[in-house]
Structure 1
């Protein structure tokens, strides 16, 4: 089943985040990931959620997401993202 990763970011360092984005997409592709959404101005239709930068990535399955997230090559990129932005992320699995 397809797994989607939803990430809500508040970016504090745009140049660093831009560098992260360019590097992380190529790495995600090695694990079957592909970007579906990068929305800088999401439209809120209900509730209190107020993401400022929303990203959705698609992976073949949940294990591919975990393999990507735990990959040694991703760890320095993850540290870069955590310095450049505050984020929330989750995995959802489709049918």
Structure 2
């Protein structure tokens, strides 16, 4: 079953964030993930959520996502990200779509 990581990013320092991306993004693929979507143009459909940037990443499992996030490679990049802005992220299992569970 696939799992997904959704990250909300508020960039305060574009140069520092570019340094983070150069180091951090390659770790996603290194740990079996892939970026599915990224946008600075998300629109709020309900509530009061206006993320400046939103990113969706897929992994094979929540455990794989957790291994990536805890990895030494990503933790080195994470320190750069912490200086660049604020993020919130969650990881969760996707649905297994089949005839018994079509939605």
Common topology (TM > 0.5): yes
The answer to whether residue 18 in structure 2 is matched with residue 18 in structure 1 is yes
Contact 1:6 / 1:54 at 8 angstroms: preserved in 2? yes
Unaligned runs of 5+ in 2: 96-103
- Cα distance, 1:15 vs. partner? 1.4
Whole-Å separation in 1 of the counterparts to 2:64 and 2:90: 14
Whole-Å separation in 2 of the counterparts to 1:22 and 1:40: 18
Unaligned runs of 5+ in 1: none
The runs of at least 4 consecutive aligned structure 1 residues that moved more than 4 Å come to: none
Contact 1:6 / 1:55 at 8 angstroms: preserved in 2? yes
TM-score normalized by the length of structure 1 = 0.93
Q: 3-state DSSP class of the match of 2:29?
A: helix
Whole-Å separation in 2 of the counterparts to 1:22 and 1:3: 24
CA RMSD between the two structures: 1.0
- Between stretches 65-74 and 18-27, larger displacement belongs to 18-27
Q: 3-state DSSP class of the match of 1:73?
A: helix
Whole-Å separation in 2 of the counterparts to 1:15 and 1:37: 22
